[in-house]
């Protein structure tokens, strides 16, 4: 009992430290940018919405904090949290260390939807909605197709995801081929590389609803994912409906992946690398692994976004930076002596 209490206490401490690190990263993110803001100015601007404070900052500074940096920082945290949570969940339910949020074609469907909307001259909000709907449609098609496959249903689901995702990727390539090279093609290409520039409060509010629903669902189901990792036969012996649990986890993961990709574009490696990094820190118990992955993902993407908007005069797409960071780190995990995924 004492050992169990010590184990629980140590993991709670790790998660608490991650929360503190996330808070510090958020504060630093507010201060970074083309328009620098001091710590004193930041706290006074933030608290001025709650308590009356004598204004000593410019109106422009307040606009930067509330209308530009706040939505972008919150969105970076949410997208990183969602992609990491989805990756961890898929790795658990499919018992596959290479599973990522796009394993069922959600990202490919979103890319096709966004490219189609850009080709038709849609507004930014309509592009976001179309990407979200096509992402859900893609995973729905994958699930229906997998039910008609013979043999192992989990393998059938993964193979269906690869096939349907490939079809939508081909569709995106065709749209890029027929798009106007002077304006539509660059817009599609930039969207596909991933970015959080231009995020507004309304877009944040719209995306936060499905994100919150999916994240809460995964957080509640995290202990059942532990049971799924034992295998279907063992799970059934203790009365767990594996098909229902797997479907519930897939629905929640798809919801948060679709919402994330619809607002940020294609951002790879977060959902693959961060769950593995979290396992190295906190272990395989999803009771602690899921919240740790969520917080780690939020910290990671927020740091990457800070680099994206501050490193050069021109903003670097997030998908490029996450690949530069994620790929070498994953190679390190694969080749580290004495380590297994």
Would you report the helix, strand and coil content of the chain in percent, each value rounded to 5? 75, 0, 25
pLDDT average, residue stretch 316-340:
79
Domains delineated in the chain: 2-335 (1.10.3470.10)
Q: Give the helix/strand (H/E) hosting 130.
A: helix 124-147
173-222 residue pLDDT tens: 999 999 999 999 999 999 999 999 889 999 999 999 999 999 999 999 99
- Determine how many CB atoms are found less than 10 A away from the CB of residue 319: 21
Cα gap 318→108, rounded to integer Å? 17
Q: What is residue 338's predicted lDDT score, i.e. its pLDDT?
A: 53
Burial of 325 (0-12, 13-18, 19+ CB in 10 A): middle
- Determine how many CB atoms are found less than 10 A away from the CB of residue 321: 21
Cα gap 270→77, rounded to integer Å? 12
- Crossing angle of helices 106-119/124-147, nearest 10°? 140
Q: Confidence band (pLDDT; 50, 70, 90) for 340? A: low
Rg of the Cα trace of the chain?
Answer: 21
Assess whether pLDDT exceeds 70 at residue 341. Answer: no
Query: pTM for the whole thing?
Result: 0.92
Q: What share of the chain has pLDDT > 70, as a percent?
A: 96
More confident residue, 232 or 289: 289
Assess whether pLDDT exceeds 80 at residue 231. Answer: no
Assess whether pLDDT exceeds 90 at residue 241. Answer: no
- Kindly state the tokens that stand for 17: 């430290």
CB 185 within 8 A of CB 127: no
């Amino acid at each position: 009992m004492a050992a169990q209490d010590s184990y629980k206490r140590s993991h709670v401490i790790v998660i608490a430290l991650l929360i503190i690190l996330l808070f510090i990263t958020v504060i630093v993110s507010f201060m970074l940018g083309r328009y620098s803001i001091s710590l004193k100015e930041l706290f006074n601007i933030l608290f001025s919405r709650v308590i009356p404070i004598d204004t000593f900052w410019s109106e422009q500074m307040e606009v930067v904090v509330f209308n530009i940096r706040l939505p972008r920082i919150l969105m970076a945290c949410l997208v990183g949290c969602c992609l990491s949570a989805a990756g961890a969940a898929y790795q658990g339910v499919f018992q596959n260390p290479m599973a990522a949020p796009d394993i069922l074609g959600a990202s490919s469907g979103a890319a096709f939807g966004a490219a189609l909307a850009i080709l038709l001259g849609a507004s930014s909000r309509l592009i976001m909605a179309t990407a979200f709907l096509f992402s859900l449609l893609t995973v729905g098609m994958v699930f229906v197709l997998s039910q008609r496959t013979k043999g192992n249903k989990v393998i059938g689901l993964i193979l269906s995801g690869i096939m349907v995702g490939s079809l939508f990727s081909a569709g995106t390539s065709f749209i890029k081929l027929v798009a106007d090279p002077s304006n539509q093609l660059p817009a599609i290409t930039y969207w596909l590389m991933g970015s959080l520039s231009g995020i507004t409060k309304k877009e944040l509010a719209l995306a936060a609803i499905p994100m919150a629903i999916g994240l809460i669902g995964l957080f509640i189901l995290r202990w059942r994912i532990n049971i799924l990792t034992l295998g279907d036969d063992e799970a059934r012996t203790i009365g767990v409906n594996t098909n229902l649990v797997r479907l519930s986890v897939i629905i929640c993961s798809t919801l948060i992946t679709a919402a994330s990709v619809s607002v940020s574009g294609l951002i790879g490696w977060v959902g693959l690398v961060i769950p593995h990094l979290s396992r190295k820190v906190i272990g395989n118990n999803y009771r602690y692994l899921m919240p740790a992955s969520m917080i780690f993902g939020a910290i990671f993407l927020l740091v990457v976004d800070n680099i994206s908007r501050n490193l050069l005069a021109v903003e670097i797409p997030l998908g490029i930076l996450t690949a530069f960071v994620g790929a070498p780190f994953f190679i390190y995990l694969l080749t580290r002596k004495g380590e297994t995924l």
